[in-house]
Amino acid sequence: MNKKLVLAGTAVMSAGLLTACGNSLDGTWEGTGQDSETGAAAGNVSLEIDGGDCNWSVTDTSTGETKTARCEESGNSIKLADVDTGKDLKYDMEQTDESLTLTPDGGDAKDILVLTRVSE
């Protein structure tokens, strides 16, 4: 019985490690933001992750102004500092091979971000 539990646990851990290694977030991701309540466009977004370093920027499509802020990635979630206030916005992340979708995780976050990997 104990051997079966150990083998099952090892198999689950190995699968988790392979999944994590195969879906590295490192690289540059670009796409658009959309207000989750109104559907209004929220600008062009760029997210750069390099190991522990994370930065993101939003470009207002009407003015061309770009604002950059810090971010903090942790597992299946990410905190983006609001580019205007610096306040943390919490998001859940869902990654496929070359796309990353960020959805609000309560609080002040309101935009859905759909990003595509443009470089590793």
Render pLDDT for 18-61 as a digit per residue (tens, 0 to 9).
334 445 899 999 999 999 999 998 899 999 999 889 999 999 99
Instruction: For each of the domains in the chain, give its residue range(s) and CATH number, in order of start.
Output: 25-119 (2.40.128.280)
Q: What is the DSSP string of 21-63?
A: HHT---EEEEEEEEETTT--EEEEEEEEEETTEEEEEEE-TTT
Contact present, 93 and 5 (Cβ < 8 Å): no
What is the pLDDT, as a whole number, of residue 23? 57
- For residues 107 and 90, is the Cβ–Cβ distance under 8 A? yes
Q: What is the pLDDT of residue 51?
A: 87
Q: What is the pLDDT of residues 70-91, one digit of tens each?
A: 999 998 999 999 999 999 999 9
Q: 90, 95, 112: which is closest to 103 by C-alpha?
A: 112
Residue the block writes with tokens 């207000």:
35
Separation of alpha carbons 103 and 116, rounded Å: 15
